[in-house]
Amino acid sequence: MSTLDTSSTGLQALLSPGAVRAAVLPVVRQQISSLEPTLARICSYHLGFTDEHGDPSGAASGKLTRASLMTAAAQGVGLRPEDVRIPAAALELLHNSTLVHDDIIDADELRRGRPAAWKVFGVGPAILAGDALQALALQMVVDDPGPCRAEISSAFAEALRLVLSGQSRELTVRLGSGTGIAEYDRILEEKTSALLQCALVTPALRAGSPEHVLTALRGAGRHLGLAFQIFNDVEDVWGDPAVTGKPVRGDIGRRNPSFPVLAGLSAGGPPSERLRELWHSDGTSAAHLQEMADLIEESGGRHRAEQRSRNHLESALEDLGRAGLSPAATAELTALFDRIVNRTA
């Protein structure tokens, strides 16, 4: 296995969005084409490669966030991008499997600004397509000839187990408003942080890094996931659909308790009491959701959420510093963490 000592400028070029896409997307396309034709068509549509008729499309195929994290972390432990190209592509497939299923569970009709796969192809076929992406991702890491294949395969399987656990737990707690912050954090650690941890830890496993490096990277991924999802919760209520690619206030319309909601409900006082009253009603009109959003902000829910997201981002960067990666890779990951959480350019 080759090692790499690169300058900060050279590293930025290797880890640019265009470079990561050029390295990972061909692998993703090749793997998708190996699926049963109907499943391949659904997956290609979901990933933005084709339109609903199977013709080439210029739709967005995602930001490849997890592949970018993995590639940067690989540089930090002395590996080249090609050393983790297969697991990086596999992790993107695993992530997209959760998106296909999430859209069905949440009845979200849009994904990246166009109809979700289940709206185009039906619920049953979309479920199977999501399952196919999971199976394909796991098969890729099992067949990957690189070092420490067994450890990496185990990390992927554990990440998938946690994601499914978090998704199941979320379905349970969304039924009421009494969810505690600790339970909310546990859901995010499983559903969101698990794949980010996998992205950061996989290169360290491949490089045979010591346990303290793995522990630090897991901590960075945990806090990064919490910071990202809490900020995402804020965007659901007050964000721009042109940026998020999804309708605003979908979570509160479904009465899915996100962090701003939980913070607002637990604040006490008239705004919190009125918010609880509206939360337990059946209203979903624009005016109803607007009043709920105003009450969440008035009760301090938005402020607490934004502050908590910043705190988790700071903790993620502290753990990243303890991993002892190369200075150039640490700097690149620091910038990447900020872009992930705050959607900065």
Of 25-29, 117-121, 246-250, minimum mean pLDDT range: 246-250
Element (H, E) at 110: strand 110-111
pLDDT digits (tens, 9 = 90+) for 155-187: 999 999 999 999 998 887 664 555 688 888 999
Q: Note whether residue 29 is domain-resident.
A: yes
For residue 2, is pLDDT > 60?
A: no
DSSP string, 49-85: SB-TTS-B--------HHHHHHHHHHHHTT--GGGGH
Q: Note whether residue 1 is domain-resident.
A: no
For residue 121, is pLDDT > 60?
A: yes
Residue 149 vs residue 182, higher pLDDT: 149
- pLDDT for the residue 10: 57
- pLDDT for the residue 62: 83
- pLDDT for the residue 5: 44
Mean of the pLDDT values across residues 15-43?
93
d(CA 136, CA 131): 9
Mean of the pLDDT values across residues 247-265?
89
For residue 6, is pLDDT > 80?
A: no
- pLDDT for the residue 175: 44
Q: How many residues does this entry show for the chain? A: 345
Helix axis angle for 149-173 and 194-207, nearest 10°, is 170
* Three-class secondary structure of residue 317 per DSSP: helix
Q: Note whether residue 3 is domain-resident.
A: no
* For the chain, percent of residues with pLDDT exceeding 90: 79
Task: Say which CATH number the domain at 26 has.
Answer: 1.10.600.10
Helical spans, DSSP H, in the chain: 8-14, 17-33, 37-46, 65-76, 85-106, 117-121, 123-143, 149-173, 181-188, 194-207, 211-238, 241-244, 250-253, 259-265, 270-279, 286-298, 301-322, 327-342
d(CA 184, CA 327): 34
Question: Are 96 and 35 within 8 A, CB to CB?
Answer: no
Mean of the pLDDT values across residues 236-256?
84
Question: What does the mean pLDDT of the chain come to?
Answer: 92
Mean of the pLDDT values across residues 68-85?
97
For residue 95, is pLDDT > 60?
A: yes
For residue 87, is pLDDT > 90?
A: yes
pLDDT digits (tens, 9 = 90+) for 290-338: 999 999 999 999 999 999 999 999 999 999 999 999 999 999 999 999 9
Under 8 Å CB-to-CB from 127, ≥6 apart: which residues? 100, 101, 104, 118
* Three-class secondary structure of residue 170 per DSSP: helix
pTM of the model: 0.91
Q: Note whether residue 22 is domain-resident.
A: yes
Tokens of 344: 């900065």
- pLDDT for the residue 1: 42
Question: What single-letter DSSP state applies at residue 148?
Answer: T
The parent domain of residue 43 ranges over 8-342
Q: Identity (one letter) of the amino acid at 100?
A: V
Question: Are 303 and 259 within 8 A, CB to CB?
Answer: no
pLDDT digits (tens, 9 = 90+) for 34-68: 999 999 999 999 999 999 999 999 887 788 999 99
Of 7-11, 87-91, 186-190, minimum mean pLDDT range: 7-11
* Count of structural domains within the chain: 1
Say which residue the tokens 């499983």 belong to: 190
d(CA 66, CA 303): 28
